[in-house]
Amino acid sequence: MRIPIKLIIILLVLSSSAVSAPQEGVVEGSVEPQGASAQVSAVREDSTVATVQAGGKDGKFRLSLAAGTYTITVSAPVSSFPVRLENVVVKPGETTVLLPVLIVPGSGKAILAGRVIPPIRDSEVKLIHEGKERAASRIDQEGRYEFRDLPAGEYEVQAIAPGHARDVSPVKVPENQRVRQNAVLLPIVATDGVDWAAGNIRATGVGSRPMDAANAASGRAMAQRAAFADAQRNLLRTIEQIKIDGGRRVGSLMDSGNYAARIQGFVKGYTVVSEKELGDGRIEVILELPLTGPFGLSRYIAE
């Protein structure tokens, strides 16, 4: 019996679609009280794979996920710490319905707020306490975020956005106080001297021994000073080329004398990576500065 060509093609297409179709399931739930703003995330192997906003009139949320086991976290600005639902199983083609998640206001009275600069869409701010994520929030159109009803303590604010270096800042929150902590997200753009993966800026400097040096020791000291000065100039040139956003570089902000002085002060906080003699009376040094973190370039820009 001969099978029509058209029927064979249809069967092949259907077979291919069946093989390639993702084996997904759905997680559904709701937050209470209804109308409470919350962020719901699915975490698998310590990585967030999906995030949706919950709230509105019915407080419902829905996540489409590949089959597997997840931790579902529910974070709300009014709550000090997130609700964690462990070992939520997602089965192909099935819907896993969770019990309503109660958003309990925080026990403290402190507020931690600030802005993410620039206000990039899909930016997320995470609040870390004692090594664990306690809350997370999306920024608004102005880049603002806020965590309320926090107990006093030491926290870490992490600002994250696709294609940008993560900015991490420790912050101490006193009891019943409002604390402001801004963050700067630097776009990851290939720049000589910048290692985005390691989160640092490096520059090399070389200094030569003057011909008229009084003696060998004096000549070496002068070559060393010249090498450090050269490396610092190269650090500054590299920093000036780092982008802040799509249209500005750090160098474009340095027309302000106050700002230029701040960046030059930042450069003086370098770490010496290596220092060596090149064998012809010259000395080479490599200096390093952090991109982000409490002493990084992003902190100087944010302040």
Work out the burial of residue 204: count CB atoms within 10 Å of its CB; fewer than 13 is exposed, 13-18 middle, 19 or more buried.
Answer: middle
The pLDDT score that the predictor gives to residue 107 is 67
The pLDDT score that the predictor gives to residue 88 is 92
Residue with more model confidence, 233 or 248 = 233
Percent of the chain with pLDDT over 70: 88
Give tens-digit pLDDT for 249-268: 888 877 766 778 888 889 99
Task: Please state whether the peptide bond connecting residue 118 to the residue before it is cis, i.e. omega within 30 degrees of 0.
Answer: yes
DSSP, collapsed to helix, strand or coil, labels residue 302 as helix
Confidence check: pLDDT of 294 > 90: no
Confidence check: pLDDT of 151 > 70: yes
Give tens-digit pLDDT for 14-59: 554 444 445 899 999 998 877 677 889 998 887 888 989 886 778 8
22 contact partners, CB below 8 Å, separation of at least 6: 66
DSSP run (H or E) holding 147: strand 144-150
Percent of the chain with pLDDT over 90: 38
pTM: 0.62
105-134 mean pLDDT = 84
Work out the burial of residue 182: count CB atoms within 10 Å of its CB; fewer than 13 is exposed, 13-18 middle, 19 or more buried.
Answer: buried
Residue with more model confidence, 257 or 5 = 257
Angle (deg, nearest 10), helices 257-267 and 216-241: 130
215-232 mean pLDDT = 88
Tell me the CB-side half-sphere exposure of residue 259, using CA atoms within 13 A.
13
